[in-house]
Amino acid sequence: MHTETEENYLKAIYHLSAKRAEPVNTSSIAGSLSTTSASVTDMLKKLAEKNLIEYERYRGVRITRKGEKIAINIVRKHRLWEVFLTQTLKFRWDEVHSMAEELEHVSSDELIKRLEEYLGFPRFDPHGDPIPDLTGKISAPSSLCLASGECEKRYTLTGVNDHSVSFLQYLERTGLKPGITVRILEIQEYDHSMLIELKNKIKLSISNDVAKNILVKNYGE
Amino acid sequence: MHTETEENYLKAIYHLSAKRAEPVNTSSIAGSLSTTSASVTDMLKKLAEKNLIEYERYRGVRITRKGEKIAINIVRKHRLWEVFLTQTLKFRWDEVHSMAEELEHVSSDELIKRLEEYLGFPRFDPHGDPIPDLTGKISAPSSLCLASGECEKRYTLTGVNDHSVSFLQYLERTGLKPGITVRILEIQEYDHSMLIELKNKIKLSISNDVAKNILVKNYGE
DNA sequence: TCATATTTTTAGACTAATCTAAATTATTTT
DNA sequence: AAAATAATTTAGATTAGTCTAAAAATATGA
């Protein structure tokens, strides 16, 4: 197989590719892996040699089908372990990322198949991100964000755009967990902040920045 | 923390120490890790530097308290993952060792605490080996082996001495899994092989070699 | 005890992944 | 379009873990 490091590079490149159509550049990879551009360059040569990426000096990188398959499998493992950690071991959703980061590399495909079955074939992880199936197919995640919601309507939280621990902990503290339902009471004209009501009648004001990072579906859908 | 390699060396030294009182020699460590004596010597220096072992050139190795604590924690993780794999994911007991070998290194102590709780604080792994608790305390494993059983008596299987995949698969095929009860029908004088009866009335003849590697407790105890 | 065999250690080299600093290429600005 | 700036790559070194082959120490045994 591949080394853990190679897997981490492929995963980073895969995630960065998803955000933009252009090739991924060296420094953004270095940024997301907290390493230097020089180290990235070295690794890119190695990955290109193995046909896992297409790489042209000074021109950035695209992931190949072969590389993408590996990356998606890592993402699949990561997200299934996240479900296990929250659902079975009762961790909070803001605690599981770093543990899943370790577990994603160690597990045989057979182990993951059994885990998926045990968990009941979940389609989304605790942050609302879709879990690729065995063949690499990925359901469309919710694309509706709370910021584009309308007054007086109800929405069910399904996920987040910002996966940072600080954002997740903010949501956790305010009670905005995936699965809960909110109603929009008011939207302020000047800063687009909104007043929302939770199930337990608690009212909460959230900034537009926050609302843009919360994914929802229409209540009852 | 320590590298995965260091952890594997400590675990190997710990297990080899358990079998004999004398210091562990270089070549037996090399043997159990499938590496060369030269590599072992290099690593022993490093571990001694960190006070995880006591090492004197040409004289072999003893594990220190500090090193033993780490080794026991790895063993604890390994055995809890084995319980998870058999109990929760329904793997056979002869399949779980190599998966647990990977999982034992990745898991944070908090994850393992939760896993232990989820599994119901099991005291033994699927092979009958005791699971160290959080403080490193280890229950005494069964020391009675089937070979020293008496005619007409019933015994419950609790574990094995030989952990090789081939032995475990032999037991699996013949139905001799931990937890089941057997009755000794006959013991042959000349080779000490024994005829035993399983719950479902199936009669089975096993060699003394096999009987010596099966751990039991008296039925009903 | 002295020679032989075995075990262990050292010496020197290799690979994977990383780094800093210097050189090169690309991009932006004037 | 040349100069300045930014990004990327190369060069050379480092660390962890490993190896083979040679040297040194220990154990065996006639």
Summarised one tens digit per residue, pLDDT across range A41-61 is: 999 999 999 999 999 999 999
**What's the CA–C1' distance between A41 and D4, in Å?**
25
The reply to whether the CB atom of residue A63 sits less than 7 A from any atom in nucleic acid chain C is no
Residues B82, B23: Cα–Cα separation, whole Å: 29
Residue A107 predicted with pLDDT over 80: no
Task: Identify the pLDDT of residue B140.
Answer: 84
Would you tell me how many other CB atoms lie within 10 Å of the CB of residue B158?
A: 19
Task: Identify the pLDDT of residue A194.
Answer: 96
Task: Identify the pLDDT of residue B220.
Answer: 83
Residue A142 predicted with pLDDT over 80: no
Task: Give B38-63 pLDDT, tens digit per residue.
Answer: 999 999 999 999 999 999 999 999 99
Inter-chain touch B114–A105, beta carbons under 8 Å? no
**Is B113 within a domain?**
no
Contact A149/A212 with Cβ under 8 angstroms?
no
The domain boundary residue, chosen from B63, B87, B106: B63
The reply to whether the CB atom of residue A52 sits less than 7 A from any atom in nucleic acid chain C is no
Inter-chain touch A90–B114, beta carbons under 8 Å? yes
DSSP H helical segments within B126-189, as ranges? Answer: 165-174
Inter-chain touch A106–B108, beta carbons under 8 Å? no
Residue A174 sits in a domain whose CATH number is 2.30.30.90
**Is A151 within a domain?**
yes
The domain boundary residue, chosen from A63, A93, A111: A63
Residues B183, B151: Cα–Cα separation, whole Å: 8
Q: Which of B88, B102, B114 sits opposite A118 (nearest CB)?
A: B88
Domains in chain B: how many in total? 2
Helix, strand or coil, per DSSP, at residue A118? helix
List residues, Cβ < 7 Å, touching strand D: A 25-27, 37-38, 40-42, 44-45, 55, 57-60; B 3-6, 35-36, 38-39, 42-43, 46, 58
Q: Mean pLDDT, to the nearest integer, of A51-76?
A: 97
Q: Which of A91, A106, A115 sits opposite B89 (nearest CB)?
A: A115
Inter-chain touch A118–B91, beta carbons under 8 Å? no
Chain B's closest residue to A87, CA to CA, is B118
Task: Identify the pLDDT of residue B198.
Answer: 93
Task: Identify the pLDDT of residue A19.
Answer: 83
Task: Give A188-216 pLDDT, tens digit per residue.
Answer: 999 999 999 998 889 999 999 999 999 99
Whether A89 has its CB under 8 Å from any CB of chain B: the answer is yes
Q: Mean pLDDT, to the nearest integer, of A112-138?
A: 96
Q: Mean pLDDT, to the nearest integer, of B91-118?
A: 95
Identify nearest nucleotide to residue A35 by CA to C1′ distance: C18
Task: Identify the pLDDT of residue B143.
Answer: 79
Task: Identify the pLDDT of residue B204.
Answer: 93
* Per-residue CA distances from A192 to A184, A186, A207 (Å): 12, 10, 7
**Is A21 within a domain?**
yes
Residue A12 sits in a domain whose CATH number is 1.10.10.10
Residues A51, A6: Cα–Cα separation, whole Å: 12
**Is A184 within a domain?**
yes
**Tokens read off for B181:** 């009860």
Q: Which residue has the tokens 């600080």?
A: A166
Task: Identify the pLDDT of residue A221.
Answer: 81
Sign of the C-alpha dihedral computed for residues A21, A23, A29 and A31 taken in this order: negative
Dihedral, A86, A89, A92, A95 alpha carbons, nearest 10: -100
Task: Identify the pLDDT of residue B177.
Answer: 87
Task: Identify the pLDDT of residue A99.
Answer: 97
To the nearest whole number, what is the mean pLDDT of chain B?
94
Which residue has better confidence, B64 or B21?
B64
**Is B50 within a domain?**
yes
The domain boundary residue, chosen from A63, A89, A109: A63
**Is B20 within a domain?**
yes
Confidence of residue B205 (pLDDT cuts 50, 70, 90): very high
Residues A171, B196: Cα–Cα separation, whole Å: 62
**What's the CA–C1' distance between A46 and D7, in Å?**
20
Q: What percent of chain B has pLDDT over 70?
A: 100
Task: Identify the pLDDT of residue B203.
Answer: 94
Q: What percent of chain A has pLDDT over 90?
A: 90
Residues A164, A169: Cα–Cα separation, whole Å: 9
Residues A16, A190: Cα–Cα separation, whole Å: 33
Give the residue whose CA sits closest to C25 at C1': A58
Helix, strand or coil, per DSSP, at residue A5? helix
Q: Mean pLDDT, to the nearest integer, of A72-83?
A: 98
Task: Identify the pLDDT of residue B196.
Answer: 96
Residues 19-38 of B with CB under 7 A from strand C: 25-27, 37-38
Identify nearest nucleotide to residue A36 by CA to C1′ distance: C19
**Is A137 within a domain?**
no
Confidence of residue A140 (pLDDT cuts 50, 70, 90): confident
Residue A218 predicted with pLDDT over 80: yes
DSSP, residue by residue, A150-191: -TT-EEEEEEES---HHHHHHHHHHT--TT-EEEEEEE-TTT
- Domain extent, residue B20, equals 4-63
To the nearest whole number, what is the mean pLDDT of chain A?
95
- Check if the interface score ipTM surpasses 0.90: no
Of A51, A122, A47, the closest CA to residue A80 belongs to A122
